[in-house]
C-alpha cells in the first residue's frame, strides 16, 4: 500500500511532555495531545507518539509501511533480536515455532491445572503475610512468575529468578538514559537465561514435556534466535499477567458496585478485558516508518521512529464512551491491549486463563472482605509498561 504524503499535514511538536510526567500519569497528557492531533513528535522520548485508535490500528496492520525491525532498538541490545522486532516472513517462521504451547488446547490439557495449583500456593503466601500485605509482591508477581516458569520450561530456575530476569531485561529495553548499571544488570540476566536454556535443552530433548523450551528443543532454529525469543517471552509473559491481576483487583476494589456485579454474575472475563483496556500493561511499543507516508492525514517521514501508544488508543473517545472510567458495562469494542495484526500477543490465551481462570475468582473467594487499605493507597506508575506497583490490602 503506497500513500501519497504530499497533501498530508505536518506533525506537531509537543516539547512540553516529560518522561517523569508520563511515568506518573500519562492520561492527562494523552488527553491534551489528542485535542491537537493523533500524532506528535515528542522530543523527550525521541519518538513520534501515535495516540489515536485508528492510527495505532492502521500501523498494527501494515508492516510494509511500519516495520517492527527498528533501527537502534534498545530491546535488541537487551534481549537479542527476537521475533517482536522482526517483520514477516521471518517473524512468522519464528512465531510458528511456538506451535500450540500457548494455545487453548494446551491450556486445557496442561496449564490450567498448573495455574490452579500456583494460585493456591501464592494465595497461601498472601494470607500468611497477613492483612496489610502487598497484593502485588505477595501474590500477583510470584504467581505470574511461577506460571511463566512452568510454561517456558525453566525447571532449574525459581520464580524469583524469573522476576529478576524479566525486570532487568525490560529495564534494559527501556534504558533511554543509557545507564551503565542498567545495562550491566540486563547483561547479567541475559547470561543467566542463556545458561538456563543451555542446561534445559538437552534435558528436555531426552525428557520432552508440554513446555515451550521442550517444543523449541526439537526445532532447527538458530540458538541466537531461540535465546532472544525466550528473553522476549520472559519480559512479556510476566509483567502483563502480574499487572492485569493487580489492576483488575485495584479497579474492582475501587468500584464496589461493579465488584458486586462481578461476584454475582461470575463476570471475571469482562472485569479483566475492561481492566487491560483501561490500563494497558504494555502501553507503548515501537515501529519505524519504511518510507515517506501518510497516517491519519499527517506526513510521516521515512525512518521515523514511532511509538504506538495503545494505552492512549484504548481511551480514544471516538471509539470508547467515557473512556477514562473503569466500566464493565460499557458497550464492548475491541481494545488494543494485546496488540493486533501479525504481532497479536501470542500469550493472550495464557493471560486470560491465568488471570480469569486462575487468579481473580480465587483471590476474592478466599480472602473474604478483601478491601483496599485506606491508610496506604495503591501506587501506580509507568507509561511504556504501566501497572499497579504496590497494592496494600486488608481482609477479614
**Residues at the contact surface with other proteins, assessed by CB under 8 A:** 60-61, 95, 100, 103-105, 273, 332-334, 338, 340-342, 344, 346, 348-349
With the CA atoms of 266, 267, 268 and 271 taken in that order, what torsion angle do they form, in degrees rounded to the nearest 10?
Answer: -150
Q: Which is nearer to other proteins, 121 or 342 (CB)?
A: 342
Structural contact between residues 195 and 212, judged by C-beta atoms closer than 8 angstroms? no
Q: Which is nearer to other proteins, 252 or 336 (CB)?
A: 336
Angle between helices 141-152 and 159-173 (to 10 degrees): 100
Q: Least separation, in Å, of the C-beta of 57 and other proteins?
A: 10
Q: Which is nearer to other proteins, 202 or 334 (CB)?
A: 334
Q: Least separation, in Å, of the C-beta of 344 and other proteins?
A: 4
Q: Which is nearer to other proteins, 132 or 297 (CB)?
A: 297
Structural contact between residues 340 and 54, judged by C-beta atoms closer than 8 angstroms? no
Residues whose CB falls within 8 Å of the CB of residue 197, separated by 6 or more in sequence, listed in order: 213, 226, 227, 230
Question: By three-state DSSP, how is residue 273 classified?
Answer: helix
Q: Least separation, in Å, of the C-beta of 321 and other proteins?
A: 16
Structural contact between residues 5 and 293, judged by C-beta atoms closer than 8 angstroms? yes
Convert 118-150 to b/e letters by CB count within 10 Å (16 or more is b): bbeebbeebeeeebebbbbbbbbbbbbbbbbbb
Q: Least separation, in Å, of the C-beta of 273 and other proteins?
A: 7
Q: Which is nearer to other proteins, 222 or 334 (CB)?
A: 334
Question: By three-state DSSP, how is residue 381 classified?
Answer: strand
Q: Which is nearer to other proteins, 61 or 223 (CB)?
A: 61
Structural contact between residues 394 and 368, judged by C-beta atoms closer than 8 angstroms? no
Helices H, strands E: what count in the chain? 18, 11
Q: Which is nearer to other proteins, 2 or 158 (CB)?
A: 2
Q: Which is nearer to other proteins, 18 or 112 (CB)?
A: 112
Angle between helices 223-254 and 141-152 (to 10 degrees): 150
Q: Which is nearer to other proteins, 227 or 315 (CB)?
A: 315
Q: Least separation, in Å, of the C-beta of 44 and other proteins?
A: 31
From CA 319, how far away is CA 323, in angstroms rounded?
8
With the CA atoms of 279, 280, 282 and 285 taken in that order, what torsion angle do they form, in degrees rounded to the nearest 10?
Answer: -110
Q: Least separation, in Å, of the C-beta of 201 and other proteins?
A: 26
Structural contact between residues 358 and 268, judged by C-beta atoms closer than 8 angstroms? no
From CA 245, how far away is CA 393, in angstroms rounded?
14
Q: Least separation, in Å, of the C-beta of 204 and other proteins?
A: 23
Residues whose CB falls within 8 Å of the CB of residue 184, separated by 6 or more in sequence, listed in order: none
Q: Least separation, in Å, of the C-beta of 90 and other proteins?
A: 15
From CA 309, how far away is CA 39, in angstroms rounded?
10
From CA 346, how far away is CA 236, in angstroms rounded?
10
Q: Which is nearer to other proteins, 131 or 341 (CB)?
A: 341
Peptide bond into 89 cis (omega under 30): yes
Q: Least separation, in Å, of the C-beta of 238 and other proteins?
A: 21
Q: Least separation, in Å, of the C-beta of 14 and other proteins?
A: 30
Amino acid at each position: 500500500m503506497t500513500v501519497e504524503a504530499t497533501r498530508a499535514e505536518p506533525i506537531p511538536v509537543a516539547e512540553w511532555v516529560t518522561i517523569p510526567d508520563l511515568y506518573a500519569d500519562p492520561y492527562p497528557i494523552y488527553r491534551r495531545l489528542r485535542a491537537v492531533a493523533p500524532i506528535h513528535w515528542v522530543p523527550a522520548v525521541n519518538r513520534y507518539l501515535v495516540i489515536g485508535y485508528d492510527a495505532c490500528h492502521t500501523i498494527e496492520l501494515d508492516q510494509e509501511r511500519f516495520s517492527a525491525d527498528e533501527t537502534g532498538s534498545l530491546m535488541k541490545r537487551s534481549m537479542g533480536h527476537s521475533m517482536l522486532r522482526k517483520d514477516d516472513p521471518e517473524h512468522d517462521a519464528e512465531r510458528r515455532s511456538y506451535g500450540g504451547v500457548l494455545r487453548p488446547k494446551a491450556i486445557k490439557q496442561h496449564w490450567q491445572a498448573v495455574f490452579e495449583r500456583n494460585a493456591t500456593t501464592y494465595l497461601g503466601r498472601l494470607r500468611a503475610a497477613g492483612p496489610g500485605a502487598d497484593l502485588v509482591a505477595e501474590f500477583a508477581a510470584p504467581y505470574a512468575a511461577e506460571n511463566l516458569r512452568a510454561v517456558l520450561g525453566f525447571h532449574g530456575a525459581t520464580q524469583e529468578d524469573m522476576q529478576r530476569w524479566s525486570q532487568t531485561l525490560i529495564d534494559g529495553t527501556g534504558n533511554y538514559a543509557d545507564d551503565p548499571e542498567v545495562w550491566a544488570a540486563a547483561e547479567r540476566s541475559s547470561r543467566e537465561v542463556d545458561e538456563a536454556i543451555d542446561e534445559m535443552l538437552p534435558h528436555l530433548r531426552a525428557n520432552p514435556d508440554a513446555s515451550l523450551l521442550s517444543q523449541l528443543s526439537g526445532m532447527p532454529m538458530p540458538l541466537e534466535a531461540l535465546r532472544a525469543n525466550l528473553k522476549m517471552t520472559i519480559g512479556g509473559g510476566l509483567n502483563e499477567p502480574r499487572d492485569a491481576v493487580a489492576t483488575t483487583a485495584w479497579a474492582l476494589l475501587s468500584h464496589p458496585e461493579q465488584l458486586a456485579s462481578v461476584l454475582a454474575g461470575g463476570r471475571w472475563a469482562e472485569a479483566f478485558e475492561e481492566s487491560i483496556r483501561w490500563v494497558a500493561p504494555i502501553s507503548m511499543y515501537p515501529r519505524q516508518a519504511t518510507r515517506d507516508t501518510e497516517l491519519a492525514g499527517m506526513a510521516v517521514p521515512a525512518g521515523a521512529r514511532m511509538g504506538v501508544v495503545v494505552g492512549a488508543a484504548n481511551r480514544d473517545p471516538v471509539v470508547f464512551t467515557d473512556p477514562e472510567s473503569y466500566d464493565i458495562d460499557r458497550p464492548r469494542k475491541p481494545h488494543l491491549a494485546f496488540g493486533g495484526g501479525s504481532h497479536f500477543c501470542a500469550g493472550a490465551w495464557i493471560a486470560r486463563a491465568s488471570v480469569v481462570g486462575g487468579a481473580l475468582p480465587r483471590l476474592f473467594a478466599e480472602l473474604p472482605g478483601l478491601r483496599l487499605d485506606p491508610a496506604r493507597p495503591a501506587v501506580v506508575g509507568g507509561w511504556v509498561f504501566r501497572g499497579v506497583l504496590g497494592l496494600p490490602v486488608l481482609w477479614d
